[in-house]
């Protein structure tokens, strides 16, 4: 975040692609987010296989403002995209898809 190096914003990851992440905020983010702000992912809970995203720099590209029923949403790009990061993301997505198809295809 600009001029707020120690600020912490908590959100959920909505989606992931090789270009970036979509985030959802249940409460209005404080400090306020702006297009162009940059931040580092510091922690990911509940998805150990995504730990490779820790300390990756992101840039906010768009924001859907806060609404009490749906929260706020933003789309962020990886600031320093590399082939190594792209490959890790591809493997992560492939693993998640394979895992979901396996679970969906199992008989109860």
CATH code: domain of residue 61? 2.40.10.220
What gap in Å lies between CA 70 and CA 40, rounded to an integer?
A: 24
Does residue 32 have a pLDDT over 50? yes
Instruction: Give the pLDDT confidence score for residue 90 in this predicted structure.
Output: 93
Does residue 72 have a pLDDT over 80? yes
Instruction: Give the pLDDT confidence score for residue 6 in this predicted structure.
Output: 67
The fraction of the chain above a pLDDT of 70, given in percent, is 82
Specify if 1 maps to a domain.
no
Q: What are the distances in angstroms from CA 94 to CA 17, 24, 79, 83, 91?
A: 11, 23, 23, 16, 5
pTM of the model: 0.76
Specify if 75 maps to a domain.
yes
Domain count, the chain: 1
Instruction: Give the pLDDT confidence score for residue 1 in this predicted structure.
Output: 37
Mean pLDDT of the chain: 82
């Amino acid at each position: 975040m600009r001029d707020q190096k120690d600020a912490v914003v908590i959100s959920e990851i909505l989606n992931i692609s090789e270009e970036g992440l979509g985030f959802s905020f249940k409460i209005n983010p404080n400090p306020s987010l702006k297009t162009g702000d940059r931040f580092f992912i510091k922690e990911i809970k509940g998805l150990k296989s995504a730990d490779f995203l820790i300390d990756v720099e992101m840039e906010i590209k768009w924001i859907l403002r806060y609404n009490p029923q749906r929260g706020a949403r933003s789309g962020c790009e990886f600031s320093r995209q590399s082939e190594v990061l792209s490959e890790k993301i591809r493997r992560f997505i492939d693993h998640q898809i394979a895992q979901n198809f396996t679970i969906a295809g199992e008989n109860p």
